[in-house]
């Protein structure tokens, strides 16, 4: 129990005294998760919209596949990405291994099913007459898309928040693809895993609190979006 | 005729159930067309097809010779505009709801002038612009939806029950707005409504739908049965006051029939072959604003029949509400409706 | 042992990953169980965490390889009865091209060469026994740890992951022999990294068994823990350790009592 | 009077804007009460308060002396039933939608009998029971919603615009169902509607709402202005045909006024002090089923006025639609409405 | 790359030849995730409903807190739970450490914010007149709850599926609280982590595929619920 208290104290120390290692990990975390979230939202929202709106044969099967993809273990994704970007892999020449970009690729794969599944649900549960109303006002396909997305923004916000939570907290991909290299690809979560393995439980707790602080800052700014909704 | 909308051999089904079957329908530019018919007769479906929001299973719908359902023809779709039956507002302020259509058409900057004008057309004062979508009563929401269409000044405006939950004063307001749209902007209007007198009042022409088909005649006097066999060639429908309406046996045992009455008679039944009569009481006598022919509603038990009175307004002088009259019809002239 | 725990005669062993990953425990534990009837469950983790589990009374017995840390641990009263049981050795491995040209040289010369040539060196950086050993070698040979040098990768991961990272970067690393044998086998005998330095006295890797202090942790099953340690240092246990083969190679040399 | 619902000093606000202000309202058991008033006058809000779905900001609503808004009184709430203005169906089949209320009251097993009976009451045949919620036209959905209320046979049934998008035949059907409910089950009914003749036809009593207040009188003839000052004590509202309606200057500059006409006159204007007159044309003359007094609708330009004709049905004999008549009123008897 | 192919082959071998270690891990995974999901659904759905339906002061703040909890790193949760159920922790006497129940506690904490946040969103995006309609039919508070939940079932399904994905794939809690003890608390994900650590990438891939097969089976059975919706 005492290490929890010690961890809380330490969290303040790390943040306030500007521990360089911690800040390096914070920076890496923020960079890599912004990158992966941007990619997955950009790809996932349109795909989720199609899955939620359009009625095509095989739609439910695709839905089941996407839902299954929600259970992709991070280490598994890490291994797959590693296989491709390792020096001996087909994409080895791009030098993505042990870089933040490499991690972002894996994290985008991790976040994508969440964004797609939750966007599809948000779009599905839009008010029933919305589409008819927009069409009746002469909206084009693109405009129907944009307005529906805007009307579904609460659901999309949750999709984004959930995916961000997933990406921020994953360890397997960052370890496998990023290599947890100190000063370079060490993120907060890989640092937590490392410290815990070292038996430095208090530091683990402290770093976890640092991550929560980041998440809180993100969610606090998003909650203004919610207010305007 | 300068046709703005043309429908040919259109069929529409829901899950295989045929809903609409229109052989030929032409709408003239700057005309006001009414759409009447009982619940489920296909009015809403027809409007959706005409406005290009839905696609027919087969057949063609074209707007000034351009096909409305090809989504690439987005500019065509923007010149048509539908007010859906269910009033629905986006989760924004009234202002933004009305501005939405303008904005997707590229409208930028200060649209307040247009928006207040549109609100005024439907009888709402401009303080409503600042309200949120959920701060309106049913009729107010309905009128905001209409305002959001009027503000677009489309070439062709289709209204699905615009007066459904609207007060009498606003119904008149909407009537004025519709007439203004036609006069000022040359808008073509197609209006579905159960508000028959209101519809009669403003339409150049009324299309009667029944079971997804266009009827050749008006159908105010529909008898839905049940029909009992009277003799080999005649069936009859008993009214709640005990009187019987006779009809020639139909080829197939259909459910409903339209009775047309030749005239109203203050004297008793006539004794003529092939002419039957019914006794009833005049309920009301109405003169349309446009038409000079007065109409009477006569009740026989629960059933009410509408009869155009022969002659002009003066001809109505001899009748008054409360009077007992005789209606004449010929059992052979009853029109059977296909189920 | 504890009343109420009697029925559940399960000994909980916290150990480092190397003993588990090599398969040593899978080989030893059944023999011990057969002999004593005591069931053993083990948690394989970093040495640091294994010690911590003991400190929190969550394990009964520890099997670790960080002699310095172990001594302070016992002095602090967290563990009792530390006994050496066996050792294996560390090796330096590197790519065939051998950029720092250290093949066959001694440990200190090699480290200096690596530092001079700024050849990539992957360090586990996780406070594990291996990591501690490596750091002590850097300090004795070069007086500094090349912390923050761009060529010095601190992976913060397990041994195999670190080897893989060294291989991807074409660099050197220090590993225990057992893991390297596994690594070799994974690559069907022709791994990207080969042994470059071995056999130095300073590369010895000593394993010990420590019982968690029953005075601090009344619930631990000290009797079973004691029998486990006893068995390991017994002639029978030592013989078993000596006869364990990984891919036909002996991995651990029993040295109880030394 | 056997009062089933009682409202005292009820005030209701949305975001601080006062919406409803009812001093006293009693509903008699087994009565049929109509609720009329323009859009936004508070009909829906009043029904929500009476049915206990919403709580008043202050004041009390009680059902047979039990407070309707205390949620512990769930059994009380189950004896009241509201048909909301917007027809809404659960995403299930029609059958299950109608069965829902029965089920939450503990109804088990085969409810088909009740459900088909309820469908029949609203004029839908029993094949509709198998349809899904989204396979209905607007009017059909509205009627299914009503059937879901009728099937519960509540003590008190409140209908918010039951005939809004319903065809004429079905409106008659609903009328029959309402009367049957009262006759057979002793149901008390409160019905809000803009369908004035329909409402007049079935209600024992009509409550007129305006701006959230109950008016003492009917308000068929409402003039919303604008009012111009004529002289120190008189203001006037100009109709679209150029005639002017005069009124005594109100204490505060209010917007709307109710004009009551003393009588219809086939001859010209009278010259009496304090009596003014308007020229108009009779549009329709109607006799209520119940009341023996005929009513005329007279149009003066765009404005339409409703006038109860003196005397019985025979008195209507001298008038006919299309006839030009004179309406008399006293500027002093105009009632000003509070904004 | 080749280890991916090898992994696919191996996945079939493991499943078809009935590898005992694999089945033990499958069993542990299924047991522990069913337990944790039941707990989190049972607690999370009512809480999410309140958060989505009721309008009380501080609601948005609670929402932000829940959203932040989506970013609880698993190792962090693992450490917290460990602190409580360690022999020296306040709940030490219950002997939850290194047991499946212990893992389930941690996983329930992991799943709870997901269930709450997604339930609240699903309830919020119910059709607008639903509540009025139910009340007007005389439904009690409990009946409004049950019917709303039923009408929101698509959204709840997604909440459950997302949370299940999270629980199935987490490693940190299972490692820290469960100890990855062979035959006892070794789940598929900890086995993947172990194999990957040992460099047995093919086995890692194979086990990942086994996990996906489980997830697929779960989602396939859930997709029937979707059909009936
Ligand atoms: N989504 C649907 N699926 C199946 N059938 C439908 C669907 N929508 C409407 N229908 C059926 O199609 C027919 C025509 O419906 P439509 O809405 O066009 O009628 P309407 O004339 O507008 O009726 P109302 O006056 O009630 O609005 C009706 O019988 C209706 O039950
Ligand atoms: N949620 C809301 N927030 C703020 N104002 C509201 C809200 N709902 C209704 N109002 C306002 O309350 C007043 C009364 O509304 P109500 O719905 O009771 O009117 P109504 O008589 O039923 O009108 P209608 O005939 O249009 O249905 C209106 O002025 C309306 O704008
Ligand atoms: Mg319709
Ligand atoms: Mg209303």
Q: Out of D48, D78, D84, name the one closest to residue E133 (CB).
A: D84
Condensed to tens digits (0 to 9), the pLDDT of residues C215-237 reads 988 888 899 999 999 999 999 99
Q: Is the pLDDT of residue C83 over 90?
A: yes
Both structure tokens of C156: 């913060």
DSSP string, B187-250: -EEEEE-S-HHHHHHH-SEEEEEETTEEESS--SSEE---EEEEETTEEEEE-TTS-EEEEEPP
pLDDT for D68: 58
Are A51 and A120 in contact by the 8 Å Cβ rule? The answer is yes
C-alpha distances in Å from residue E60, one per residue of A219, B57, B106, D264, E158? 11, 48, 36, 63, 22
Q: How far apart are CA A78 and CA A66, in angstroms?
A: 19
Looking at the complex, report in whole angstroms how far the Cα of residue A204 sits from the nearest Cα belonging to chain C.
Answer: 12
Which residue's CA lies nearest to atom 1 of ligand 1? D135
B140 lines ligand 2 (CB under 6 A): yes
Are E49 and E148 in contact by the 8 Å Cβ rule? The answer is yes
Condensed to tens digits (0 to 9), the pLDDT of residues B2-11 reads 888 999 999 9
pLDDT for D97: 93
Q: Is the pLDDT of residue D220 over 90?
A: no
The closest-lying atom of ligand 1 relative to the alpha carbon of residue B209 is 21
Comparing D254 with A194, which gets the higher pLDDT?
A194
Structure confidence at residue D318 as a pLDDT band (50, 70, 90): confident
pLDDT for D200: 84
Condensed to tens digits (0 to 9), the pLDDT of residues D51-90 reads 888 888 899 888 876 655 554 456 777 888 999 998 889 8
> Distance between terminal CA atoms of chain C?
30
Q: How far apart are CA C171 and CA C173, in angstroms?
A: 7
Give me the residue label for tokens 């009592």: C257
DSSP string, D91-115: SSBHHHHHHHHHHHTT--S--HHHH
Both structure tokens of A31: 């960079």
The closest alpha carbon to C129, from A199, A112, E89, belongs to A199
- Best mutation site among D15, D19, D161 for ligand 2 pocket (most ligand atoms within 8 Å of CB): D19
Q: Name the interface residues of E facing D (CB cutoff 8 Å).
A: 127, 129-130, 132-133, 135-141, 143, 147, 151, 229
CATH assignment, E2-228: 1.10.3720.10
The closest-lying atom of ligand 1 relative to the alpha carbon of residue B212 is 14
Domain segments of chain E: what residues? 2-228
DSSP string, C60-107: SEEEE--HHHHHHHHHTTSEEEEEEEEEEEEEEEEETT-TT--TT--H
> Which residues in chain E come in under a pLDDT of 50?
none
Q: Is the pLDDT of residue A14 over 80?
A: yes
Condensed to tens digits (0 to 9), the pLDDT of residues D132-181 reads 988 899 899 999 999 999 999 999 999 999 998 888 888 888 998 999 99
Please answer yes or no on whether C48 and A175 come within 8 Å at the CB atom: no
Please answer yes or no on whether C12 and E87 come within 8 Å at the CB atom: no
The closest-lying atom of ligand 1 relative to the alpha carbon of residue B194 is 25
DSSP string, B133-171: TTSS-HHHHHHHHHHHHHTT--SEEEEESTTTT--HHHH
Is the omega angle on the peptide bond into residue B226 within 30 degrees of 0, that is, cis? Answer: yes
Please give the distance, rounded to the nearest whole angstrom, from the Cα atom of residue B210 to the centre of ligand 3: 13
As to burial, measured by CB atoms within 10 angstroms (0-12 exposed, 13-18 middle, 19+ buried), residue E164 is buried
pLDDT for A227: 67
Which residue's CA lies nearest to atom 29 of ligand 2? D40
| Residue E154: closest C-alpha in chain D | D91
Work out the mean pLDDT of chain C and round it to a whole number: 88
pLDDT for D71: 45
D114: CB partners within 8 A, 6+ apart: D102, D107, D151
Structural domains in chain B, sorted by start? 3-215 (3.40.50.300), 222-336 (2.40.50.100)
pLDDT for C6: 40
Helix E100-124, helix A153-169: angle, nearest 10: 160
| Residue D82: closest C-alpha in chain E | E136
Are D287 and B284 in contact by the 8 Å Cβ rule? The answer is yes
The closest-lying atom of ligand 1 relative to the alpha carbon of residue D139 is 26
Looking at the complex, report in whole angstroms how far the Cα of residue A141 sits from the nearest Cα belonging to chain E.
Answer: 23
Q: How far apart are CA A120 and CA E46, in angstroms?
A: 23
Structure confidence at residue C2 as a pLDDT band (50, 70, 90): very low
pLDDT for C5: 39
Proportion of chain B above pLDDT 90, given as a percent: 29
Q: What does DSSP assign to residue B318?
A: G
Q: Which ligand sits closest to the CA of B207?
A: 1
Structure confidence at residue C125 as a pLDDT band (50, 70, 90): confident
Please give the average per-residue pLDDT across C112-119, as a whole number. 92
List the 92-131 stretch of E: residues with Cβ below 8 A of A: 113-114, 117-118, 121-122, 124-128
pLDDT for D87: 85
pLDDT for B219: 65
Which ipTM was obtained for this model? Answer: 0.83
Q: How far apart are CA B258 and CA B239, in angstroms?
A: 15
Q: Is the pLDDT of residue D273 over 90?
A: no
Q: What is the CA radius of gyration of chain D?
A: 23
Q: How far apart are CA B225 and CA B303, in angstroms?
A: 12
Are A148 and A53 in contact by the 8 Å Cβ rule? The answer is yes
Structure confidence at residue B284 as a pLDDT band (50, 70, 90): confident
Count B/D contacts: CB-CB distance under 8 Å.
146
Q: What does DSSP assign to residue B93?
A: B
Strand-by-strand arrangement of the B256-258 sheet: B222-223, B256-258, B335-337
Q: How far apart are CA E120 and CA E47, in angstroms?
A: 8
List, in sequence order, the alpha helices (H) in A2-140: 2-16, 20-53, 59-69, 74-85, 100-124, 130-136
Query: Virtual CA dihedral for B26, B28, B31, B37, nearest 10 degrees?
Result: 0
Structure confidence at residue C49 as a pLDDT band (50, 70, 90): confident
Are C35 and C62 in contact by the 8 Å Cβ rule? The answer is no
Q: How far apart are CA B335 and CA B215, in angstroms?
A: 10
Q: Is the pLDDT of residue B315 over 70?
A: no
Give this prediction's pTM. 0.85
Q: How far apart are CA C156 and CA A183, in angstroms?
A: 11
Q: Is the pLDDT of residue B329 over 90?
A: no
Q: Is the pLDDT of residue B272 over 80?
A: no
pLDDT for D291: 61
Which residue's CA lies nearest to atom 5 of ligand 2? B135
Longest CA–CA span in chain B (Å) reads 75
């Amino acid at each position: 129990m005492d290490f929890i208290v010690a961890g809380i104290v330490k969290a303040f120390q790390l943040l306030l005294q500007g521990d360089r290692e911690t800040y390096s990990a914070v920076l890496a975390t923020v960079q890599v998760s912004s990158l992966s979230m941007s990619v997955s939202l950009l790809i996932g929202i349109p795909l989720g919209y199609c899955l939620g709106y359009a009625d095509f044969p095989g739609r439910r099967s695709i839905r089941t596949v996407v839902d299954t993809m929600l259970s992709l273990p991070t280490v598994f994704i890490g291994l797959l990405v590693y296989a491709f970007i390792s020096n001996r892999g087909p994409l080895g020449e791009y030098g993505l291994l042990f870089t933040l970009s490499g991690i972002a690729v894996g994290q985008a794969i991790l976040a994508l099913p969440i964004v797609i599944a939750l966007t599809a649900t948000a779009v599905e549960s839009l008010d029933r007459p919305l589409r008819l109303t927009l069409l009746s006002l002469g909206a084009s396909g693109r405009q129907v898309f944009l307005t529906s997305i805007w009307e579904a923004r609460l659901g999309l916000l949750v999709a984004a928040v959930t995916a961000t939570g997933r990406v921020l907290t994953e360890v397997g991909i960052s370890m496998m693809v990023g290599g947890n290299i100190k000063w370079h690809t060490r993120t907060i979560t890989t640092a937590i895993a490392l410290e815990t393995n070292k038996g430095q439980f208090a530091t683990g707790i402290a770093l976890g609190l640092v991550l929560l602080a980041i998440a809180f800052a993100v969610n606090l700014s998003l909650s203004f979006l919610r207010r305007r909704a | 005729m300068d046709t703005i909308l043309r429908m040919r051999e259109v069929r529409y089904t829901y899950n295989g159930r045929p809903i609409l079957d229109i052989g030929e329908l032409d709408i003239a530019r700057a005309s006001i067309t009414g759409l009447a018919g009982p619940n489920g007769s296909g009015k809403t479906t027809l409007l959706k097809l005409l406005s290009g929001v839905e696609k027919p299973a087969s057949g063609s719908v074209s707007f000034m010779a351009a096909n409305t359902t090809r989504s690439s023809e987005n500019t065509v779709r923007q010149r048509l505009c539908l007010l859906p039956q269910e009033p629905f507002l986006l989760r924004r302020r009234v202002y933004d709801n009305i501005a939405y259509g303008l904005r997707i058409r590229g409208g930028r900057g200060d649209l307040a002038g247009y928006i207040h004008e549109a609100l005024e057309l439907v009888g709402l004062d401009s303080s409503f612009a600042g309200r949120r979508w959920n701060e309106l009563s049913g009729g107010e929401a309905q009128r905001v939806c209409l305002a959001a269409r009027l503000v677009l000044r489309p070439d062709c405006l289709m209204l699905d029950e615009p007066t459904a939950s609207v007060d009498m004063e606003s119904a008149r307001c909407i009537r004025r707005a519709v007439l203004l749209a036609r006069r000022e902007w040359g808008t073509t209007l197609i209006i579905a409504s159960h508000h028959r007198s209101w519809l009669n009042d403003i339409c150049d022409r009324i299309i009667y739908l029944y079971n997804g088909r266009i009827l050749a005649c008006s159908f105010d006097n529909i008898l839905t049965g049940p029909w009992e066999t009277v003799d080999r060639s005649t069936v009859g429908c008993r009214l709640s006051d005990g009187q019987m309406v006779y009809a020639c046996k139909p080829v197939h045992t259909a459910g409903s029939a339209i009775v047309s009455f030749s005239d109203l008679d203050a004297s008793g039944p006539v004794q003529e072959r092939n002419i039957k009569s019914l006794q009833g009481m005049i309920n009301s006598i109405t003169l349309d604003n446009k038409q000079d022919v007065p109409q009477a509603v006569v009740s026989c038990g629960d059933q009410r029949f509408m009869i155009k009175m022969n002659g002009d307004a003066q001809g109505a002088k001899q009748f008054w509400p409360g009077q007992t009259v005789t209606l004449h019809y010929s059992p052979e002239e009853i029109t059977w409706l296909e189920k | 042992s504890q009343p109420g725990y009697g029925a559940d005669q399960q000994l909980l062993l916290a150990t480092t990953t190397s003993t588990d990953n090599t398969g040593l425990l899978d080989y030893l534990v059944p023999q011990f169980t057969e002999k004593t009837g005591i069931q053993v469950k083990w948690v394989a983790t970093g040495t640091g965490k294994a010690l911590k589990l003991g400190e929190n009374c969550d394990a009964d017995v520890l099997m670790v390889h960080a002699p310095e840390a172990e001594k302070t641990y016992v002095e602090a009263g967290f563990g009792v009865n530390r006994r050496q049981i066996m050792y294996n050795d560390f090796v330096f491995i590197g790519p065939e091209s051998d950029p720092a040209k250290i093949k066959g040289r001694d440990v200190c010369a090699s480290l200096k060469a690596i530092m001079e040539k700024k050849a990539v060196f992957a360090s586990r950086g996780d406070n594990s026994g291996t990591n501690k050993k490596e750091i002590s070698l850097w300090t004795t040979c070069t007086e500094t740890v090349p912390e923050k040098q761009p060529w010095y990768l601190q992976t913060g991961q397990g041994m195999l992951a670190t080897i893989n990272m060294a291989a991807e970067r074409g660099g050197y690393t220090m590993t225990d022999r057992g893991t390297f044998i596994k690594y070799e086998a994974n690559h069907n005998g022709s791994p990207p990294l080969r042994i470059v330095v071995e056999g130095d006295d300073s590369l010895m890797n000593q394993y010990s068994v420590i019982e968690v202090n029953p005075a601090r942790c009344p619930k631990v099953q000290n009797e079973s823990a004691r029998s486990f340690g006893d068995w390991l240092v017994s002639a029978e246990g030592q013989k078993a350790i000596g006869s364990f083969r990984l891919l036909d190679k002996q991995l651990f040399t029993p040295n109880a009592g030394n």
